[in-house]
Copies of this chain bind each other. A is one copy, B any other.
Amino acid sequence: MRDAVALLSGGLDSYTAAALVQADGFRLFALTVHYGQRHAQELEAARAVAKALGVARHIELDVNLAAFGGSSLTSSAPVPKDRPLDRGDIPSTYVPARNTVLLALALAWAETLSAEAIVIGVNALDYSGYPDCRPEFIAAFEDLATLATATGVGGARVRIHAPLQTLTKADIIRKGQALGLDYGLTHSCYDPGTGGRPCGRCDSCVLRAAGFAQAGIPDPVASR
């Protein structure tokens, strides 16, 4: 059996990425990191997604990146709303070095499991703003992983699977629908209201809504 450690955030991207790698024949081990996000809905969604995927094991890990500050996702700073998405700058929701930390933790588990792969749901849209979603970053981490590990010294290479990298949000949603994924389990909003209701105005909500609209598929979360 080929094993893969899949980073699951509770959002639709990581769910779809994991499902695509599973469809390629990998057994999944899911890793969810609570890095100090202000709300718990993501974690509940990650649990539901892990269950729906039937992963071999799901580890939830606390890593309090909020101790360092520097992001509106992990502090009391306001999450930007109604922000034009084509501005090309890096939004305040960027969490410094988050994907480096997430991939490092996934690598630690992958080495213990002798897993062949790590799955991360970075995509072409995230890429527009966050430096650690760029293809060159993912490629550099894969090179680092070989140098970083005893298995790498032994000649094994952990591959970083980022199957959404060049897809639009609409493409991702279409692929997920083809796989029969239940996006009603997922949570995308950076700043949910009471009861976990999506705000509809943060970058993540806006991207999600545009993706579903472009794919011509209703969002099961929005329609609830």
Chain A, 64-112, CB within 8 A of any chain B CB:
64-65, 67-70, 90, 94-101, 103-105, 107-109, 111-112
Does A136 interact with chain B (Cβ within 8 Å)? Answer: yes
A206 to chain B, nearest CB (A): 21
Contact A140 B137 (CB under 8 A): no
The count of chain A contact residues (Cβ–Cβ below 8 Å) is: 43
Contact B111 A107 (CB under 8 A): no
Contact A64 B67 (CB under 8 A): no
Does A153 interact with chain B (Cβ within 8 Å)? Answer: yes
Does A144 interact with chain B (Cβ within 8 Å)? Answer: yes
- The answer, among B94, B101, B140, B143, for a CB contact under 8 Å with A105, is B101
Copies in the complex: 2
Contact B152 A147 (CB under 8 A): no
Stretch in A46-54, A55-63, A191-199 touching the partner: A55-63
Does A150 interact with chain B (Cβ within 8 Å)? Answer: yes
Does A215 interact with chain B (Cβ within 8 Å)? Answer: no
Contact B96 A104 (CB under 8 A): no
A30 to chain B, nearest CB (A): 13
The closest CB in chain B to the CB of A130 belongs to B150
A175 / chain B contacts, CB cutoff of 8 Å? none
- The answer, among B62, B90, B108, B132, for a CB contact under 8 Å with A97, is B108
The closest CB in chain B to the CB of A129 belongs to B150
What separation, in Å, do the CA atoms of A67 and B59 have in the docked complex?
Answer: 8
Q: Which 9 residue pairs across A and B have the least CB separation, nearest first?
A: A70-B112, A96-B111, A97-B108, A104-B104, A100-B104, A137-B147, A68-B109, A97-B107, A101-B104
Given A61-B63, A68-B59; A131-B153 close (CB under 8 Å): yes
